Amino acid sequence: MIKRLILGLAALALTSCGMLPGTLATQPTPIPTLTPAASIAQDAAVKPAPALGGKPSGDLLVWIFSNHTPPVRGVNTFEALVTDSQGQPISDATVSFDIDMTNMSHGKNVMAASSLGNGHYDANVHFLMPGPWRVIVGVRRAGQTSTVRFDFMVSW
């Protein structure tokens, strides 16, 4: 019964996008590999896994990692690393992951990330379909919110 319901929801999700899996002809693009700053590379807590890339936002630097490379349809664990411009971890922020497809909208889907300490924050994110997605990482700190966007392909 539960399985039936889940399958029904999946079919509904696909239908609501107006796309069937077979019509997704987009070739997955490689996800940029993180080239960490020397100070960050020395941080043993940083996972050696390939990342979705690192980007500046104001005086912050934000990296995003996934436990799947590339991310896959279904549940993935995303981890953000937030540092200052010198690579020092920022551990007192409130971090969120706002995900959606870039070629269609699946509505608002924002996950609050948990702090792992040493500038790391993680949350499980759920991708309904393969194809082009983006995550907007929100970093709230001292009353100010910075956002950093990463675009990537989700595979089957």
Stretch that binds Cu ion, among 12-20, 44-52, 54-62, 75-83 (CB under 5 A): 12-20
| CA 21/CA 156 separation, integer angstroms | 10
Does 104 engage in binding with Cu ion (CB under 5 A)? yes
Stretch that binds Cu ion, among 55-63, 68-76, 98-106, 146-154 (CB under 5 A): 98-106
Q: Least distance to Cu ion from the beta carbon of 106, Å?
A: 6
The enclosing H or E element of 51 equals: strand 51-57
Does 45 engage in binding with Cu ion (CB under 5 A)? no
Cα of first residue to Cα of last residue in the chain, in angstroms, is 25
Stretch that binds Cu ion, among 9-17, 38-46, 109-117, 137-145 (CB under 5 A): 9-17
Does 129 engage in binding with Cu ion (CB under 5 A)? yes
Q: Least distance to Cu ion from the beta carbon of 129, Å?
A: 4
Burial pattern 99-138, b for ≥16 Cβ within 10 A else e, equals bbbeeeebeeeebebeeeeebbbbbebebbbbbbbebebb
Nearer to Cu ion, 95 or 129 (CB): 129
Alpha-carbon dihedral sign for residues 73, 109, 53, 132: positive
Contact 62, 81 (CB under 8 A): yes
| CA 102/CA 132 separation, integer angstroms | 6
Nearer to Cu ion, 18 or 117 (CB): 18
Nearer to Cu ion, 14 or 116 (CB): 14
Binding site for Cu ion (CB under 5 A): 17, 101, 104, 129
